[in-house]
Structure 1
Amino acid sequence: MSSRKKLIAGNWKMNKTSADGVALARDLVVAIGKQAEVDVVVCPPFTAIESVGKALEGSNVRLGAQNMHHEASGAFTGEVSAPMLRAIFATHVILGHSERRTFFGDTDEFVNKKVLAALKNQLRPIFCVGETLAERESGATLKVVQTQVERGLEGVNRDQAASVIVAYEPVWAIGTGKVATTEQAQEVHAFIRGLLTKLFSEPVAQKVRILYGGSMKPANAPELLAQKDIDGGLIGGAALEARSFVELVTAAAAVK
């Protein structure tokens, strides 16, 4: 059995007003706020982070953001910085999500700057990598993932690496209802752990949690979470409703 504690992180994307977010957070606190078997993080949109954070106070549910800029402050209209997130008690931040890469042009180099800034400010990056459908069909999955991992983690040292959370998200399985087979998911997770071993050492690689981020739902979670190298999930749609998200946490807690 892996010594890595399972982690279920909810990415609310551009959903939930502040009031909606608080209502969902309160439901989660009632249902899973005291359990300690699984680490739980919720990542609301920026307008709801502070109010959701207050609703989570005193519980074991952690607060995360969906993105950040690598600079601490300055003339970057529309952006937020790591110190700003730390000031409202965020502990995690999603970086390099496929939607940021696809729609907003986040490059490996830009994501790398964000990863380094997050670590410098004691924020735990949930660092996302993954291939498109065209890349998968052309047989380039592992090459694409390797490039993203190596470039995204450049400059991260061994001591910092254990704080990084990697999320593998097959882009073709996000919001499409398609899910990578358990074997496909485990193959890439194991490959990523092998890369981390080369970059940082075996002991460090065994500490890093690698999440599956491709349409994990209560129906497929038990099988996915039972895999050796799948340490949890970065959850999109199923994180927007308390019942389904709680079921995923329960599924993670049941893995022995």
Structure 2
Amino acid sequence: MKKNLIAGNWKMNASLEANDALVRAVLAGMGAQGADAFATVAVCVPAPYLAQVRALQSGSPLELGAQDVSCHEQGAFTGEVSAAMLREFGVRFCIVGHSERRQYHGETDAVVAQKAKIALAHGITPIVCVGETLEEREAGRTEETVKRQMAAVIHVNGHCISEICVAYEPVWAIGTGRTATPEQAQEVHALLRRQLAAATAHAERVHILYGGSMNAANAAGLLAQGDIDGGLVGGASLKAADFLQIIASAGRAAG
């Protein structure tokens, strides 16, 4: 049975004191739930805190993730963090192509595809984000948008595509309090699964996460859908009780 994947995206929210309290609370709750039996749980943290969180989660089932990676191996790229550097810190997952990176940093489909490739080359599983804006959804272009974004990653990564994770994040539902209904989310997840199946015989291995404001209240309904294999969780991952409730929902869905 494939475990659900619940990945917290802390975004640019953290401090040494807050991280310590949050990770300890999450680890205690995961232990009480026996979460490692039914879910893979990760936290994607700001780069300056990788060392701290690595020390806190060492020896536990909690996995370490990063929020971005350079598409370059090394060199004169001030401010960039390479995949090799992330790997030295024990990073297992890395978010690539988050809508905020696409919107605020101009990341193209091609750049996202290259970041996924370089992460894979260093043994890091990329969580590739795809999703449409409100304007695109209202214009009936959801399918066109997500298929274009996914096609770029498939084209560049080819035979390795079954080793990635995908996160469907409708841009209109991120940080807005709005959420796609379970049925809306499942429709796009099923579309992505079909697209992956056309590219690999192992499409069922790929975790397709929902990443549009999953929270403690809506997680159960979303995770009950056939093609939703977990969540990329934003604000709720900063609250231990909420994050643990989402993890518990993953357990009920798996059961």
What TM-score results when the alignment is normalised by the length of structure 2? Answer: 0.96
> Which one-letter code corresponds to 2:90 in the other structure?
F
2:42–2:65 Cα contact (<8 Å) kept: yes
2-structure distance, mates of 1:141, 1:234: 19
Aligned to 1:35: 35
1-structure distance, mates of 2:154, 2:70: 16
2-structure distance, mates of 1:79, 1:26: 29
2-structure distance, mates of 1:4, 1:192: 18
Q: How does 1:128-207 map to 2 (within 5 A)?
A: 128-158=129-159, 160-201=160-201, 204-207=202-205
Kindly, what percent of the aligned residue pairs are identical? 47
> Which one-letter code corresponds to 1:18 in the other structure?
L
2-structure distance, mates of 1:206, 1:30: 31
Q: What is the DSSP-based 3-state SS (H/G/I as helix, E as strand, rest coil) of the residue aligned with 2:128?
A: strand
- State the superposition RMSD in angstroms: 1.0
Q: Describe the superposition over 1:9-43 as per-residue Cα deviations: whole angstroms up to 9, x where unpaired.
A: 00000001133212211111111155311100101
Aligned to 1:21: 19
Runs of 4+ in 1 over 3 A off after TM superposition: none
2:113–2:157 Cα contact (<8 Å) kept: no
Q: Which runs of 5+ in 1 are unaligned?
A: none
Aligned to 2:226: 228
Q: What is the DSSP-based 3-state SS (H/G/I as helix, E as strand, rest coil) of the residue aligned with 2:14?
A: coil
Q: How does 1:106-117 map to 2 (within 5 A)?
A: 106-117=107-118
> Which one-letter code corresponds to 2:45 in the other structure?
P
Q: Describe the superposition over 1:30-71 as per-residue Cα deviations: whole angstroms up to 9, x where unpaired.
A: 111553111001011111111011100011000000001022
1-structure distance, mates of 2:158, 2:147: 18
What TM-score results when the alignment is normalised by the length of structure 1? Answer: 0.95
Q: Which runs of 5+ in 2 are unaligned?
A: none
1:97–1:127 Cα contact (<8 Å) kept: yes
1:100–1:106 Cα contact (<8 Å) kept: yes
2-structure distance, mates of 1:116, 1:248: 30
2-structure distance, mates of 1:218, 1:91: 25
Q: What is the DSSP-based 3-state SS (H/G/I as helix, E as strand, rest coil) of the residue aligned with 1:200?
A: coil
Q: How does 1:66-105 map to 2 (within 5 A)?
A: 66-105=67-106
2:133–2:172 Cα contact (<8 Å) kept: yes
